[in-house]
Amino acid sequence: MKCLTAFAMIAALAAKASADCFSTKLGYPCCKAGTQAVYTDADGDWGVENGDWCGIGGSSSSSASCWAQALGYPCCKNTKDVVTTDSDGDWGIENGDWCGIPKGQSQNNNNNNNNNNNNNNNNNNNNNNNNNNSSSNNSSGNVPYVPSNGMTGPSGYPWCSRCEVTSDGETQFGWEMYRLCEIDQEYCAHPNYDEYGNVIDRETDPRFINLKGKSGQTTRYWDCCKPSCAWNYKAAVTKPVNSCDVNGNHISIEYTTSGCGGGSAFMCVDQQPWAINDQLSYGFAAASIEGQGEEDWCCACYKITFTSTSIAGKQMIVQVTNTGDDLGKNHFDIQMPGGGLGLFDGCSAQFNTDASLWGERYGGFTDGSQCSILPKSLQPGCEWRFGWFENADNPKMNFEEVECPAELVAITGCSRL
């Protein structure tokens, strides 16, 4: 009996450990025991295994009470010296990165802040000199890397902790923790050492590889046509994507002709996007991925990280339900009602209306008030576009394949084998 009890306790602990790993819901695996945290955001602590991100521990990082964590930054642990203050609160610096000082714990007024800034910059110069000495001596050192001109770059943004460039100009920019940061070009060009003077391998170090996958382009559409992945034998899947009749009922015969070809099968109205939180949405898309075909992407899911327009930094997880012959390479055409019919019009037949009144053929509506023109069943996805999506116009993005969330599979009925 004691053995059975012990086994039950071990199983329960293992189940709890798995349940406590937040990253699986975001499409990333859990880290193995002992993996070191290299990055922290509002979701929790992240490590790197086999050249990809993995989640460490529970659903939030250990200092959940710190206001800065909602912005993707850690709490200050050992400093109460204010370096700068913005509308969010007081900011300090630890280990060469920004941290949030819990409200009521900062010690300096604005005048002292300026003095501390100057002192920090002087100390930073000393740290940089020490770091150079450590590098030249191949010693591990314990002085964090600090750019010689302080904690912010020439454009006034914090330095990036990694070397992935998302925007080029006179200054190179990156995007970390939902904020713009400046690439330290001198540091990122250094061939052999990290910020602590340790020898690094640029092929495996996470700061020097793109963990976000490929880059591409997005557009938008809603044509009401039967999705391409709703036909039989497109890919190795559990079943084709659901299609619906004019009454919204699922069609059980996969070879039913599309409403865009005079048939009775249409896109189901529940295949429209919705917000999970301020930074993440779920949805569906047509896709064209370089070097792949429908057999590769039908019913596969991809995490999209937008890299341009006002929604840069926001993410979507989309399931591919359709293929666009008119799409370019690495192109996702996100399904959103009122986003434009595009090449085909199945909506006029599905809803017995004149869908040519639904905005521009390519692009759709231009204002959120126009969503009321649509049938009520399509209005939530249209309102999402002018809300969470901020009416972004064809934003660029990075994308990578992830495990499909159960919510998306429940809507389409389709998953990869």
CATH number for position 26: 3.90.1220
CA 406 to chain centre: 18
CA atoms within 13 Å, Cβ hemisphere of 108: 20
Contact predicate 22/55, CB 8 Å = yes
| Together in a domain, 269 and 188 | no
| Together in a domain, 197 and 320 | no
Nearest of 358, 335, 359 to residue 347 by alpha carbon: 358
| Together in a domain, 264 and 396 | yes
Give the active site residue among 194, 223, 333, 345.
Answer: 223
Residues with Cβ within 8 Å of residue 163, at least 6 apart in sequence = 174, 183, 187, 188, 207, 208
Please count the structural domains in the chain.
3
| Together in a domain, 363 and 248 | yes
Average pLDDT over residues 324-336: 86
pLDDT at 367 over 80: yes
Cα–Cα dist 322/231, whole Å: 10
For residue 265, tell me if it sits in a domain: yes
403 — pLDDT class (breaks 50, 70, 90): very high
Place of tokens 């090449």: 343
pLDDT at 131: 36
Please give the single-letter amino acid code of residue 184: D
Cα–Cα dist 14/28, whole Å: 18
183 — pLDDT class (breaks 50, 70, 90): confident
Residues with Cβ within 8 Å of residue 55, at least 6 apart in sequence = 21, 22, 23, 24, 26, 28, 29, 30, 31, 43, 44, 45, 46, 47
For residue 68, tell me if it sits in a domain: no
| Together in a domain, 166 and 299 | no
pLDDT at 31: 84
For residue 7, tell me if it sits in a domain: no
pLDDT at 201: 58
pLDDT at 379 over 50: yes
pLDDT at 350: 98
Cα–Cα dist 96/52, whole Å: 24
Nearest of 224, 243, 191 to residue 343 by alpha carbon: 224
pLDDT at 362: 94
Q: Which residues pair with 243 in a beta bridge?
A: none
For residue 102, tell me if it sits in a domain: no
5-38 per-position pLDDT tens digit? 444 444 444 443 444 577 777 777 888 877 766 5
| Together in a domain, 407 and 282 | yes
pLDDT at 80 over 60: yes
Cα–Cα dist 14/85, whole Å: 43
Cβ neighbours of 255 (radius 10 Å): 11
pLDDT at 141: 30
29-77 per-position pLDDT tens digit? 888 877 766 566 667 777 777 766 778 875 433 433 467 766 667 788 8
For residue 67, tell me if it sits in a domain: no
134-153 per-position pLDDT tens digit? 333 323 333 333 444 456 67
* 223 labelled catalytic: yes
Contact predicate 83/106, CB 8 Å = no
What is the percentage of the chain residues whose pLDDT exceeds 70?
64
288-314 per-position pLDDT tens digit? 998 888 999 999 999 999 999 999 999
Burial (CB count <10 Å: 0-12, 13-18, 19+), residue 379:
middle
pLDDT at 144: 34
| Together in a domain, 319 and 204 | no
> Can you point out the beta strands (E) in 183-229?
214-221
| Together in a domain, 165 and 307 | no
pLDDT at 392: 97
pLDDT at 247: 96
pLDDT at 25: 73
For residue 408, tell me if it sits in a domain: yes
Nearest of 374, 297, 387, 380 to residue 333 by alpha carbon: 297
The dihedral built from the CA positions of residue 68, 73, 75 and 78, taken in this order, carries a sign that is negative
Query: What range defines the domain where residue 199 resides?
Result: 110-208
Please give the single-letter amino acid code of residue 300: A
The dihedral built from the CA positions of residue 244, 249, 255 and 259, taken in this order, carries a sign that is negative
Higher-scoring residue by pLDDT: 338, 123: 338
Burial (CB count <10 Å: 0-12, 13-18, 19+), residue 277:
exposed
Last residue of a domain, one of 173, 208, 243: 208
| Together in a domain, 140 and 230 | no
Last residue of a domain, one of 151, 176, 208: 208
Contact predicate 23/54, CB 8 Å = yes
Last residue of a domain, one of 152, 173, 208: 208
pLDDT at 212 over 80: no
Average pLDDT over residues 170-178: 62
Higher-scoring residue by pLDDT: 185, 373: 373
pTM of the model: 0.53
Average pLDDT over the chain, rounded to an integer = 76
The dihedral built from the CA positions of residue 351, 356, 362 and 367, taken in this order, carries a sign that is negative
CA 408 to chain centre: 17
| Together in a domain, 141 and 283 | no
pLDDT at 325: 66
pLDDT at 171: 55
Window from 106-110, 254-258, 264-268, 272-276 with minimum mean pLDDT? 106-110
184 — pLDDT class (breaks 50, 70, 90): confident
| Together in a domain, 137 and 237 | no
pLDDT at 157 over 90: no
For residue 74, tell me if it sits in a domain: no
For residue 92, tell me if it sits in a domain: no
pLDDT at 200: 57
pLDDT at 147: 46
| Together in a domain, 169 and 219 | no
Structure tokens that stand for 5 in this block? 């009890």
Contact predicate 306/395, CB 8 Å = yes
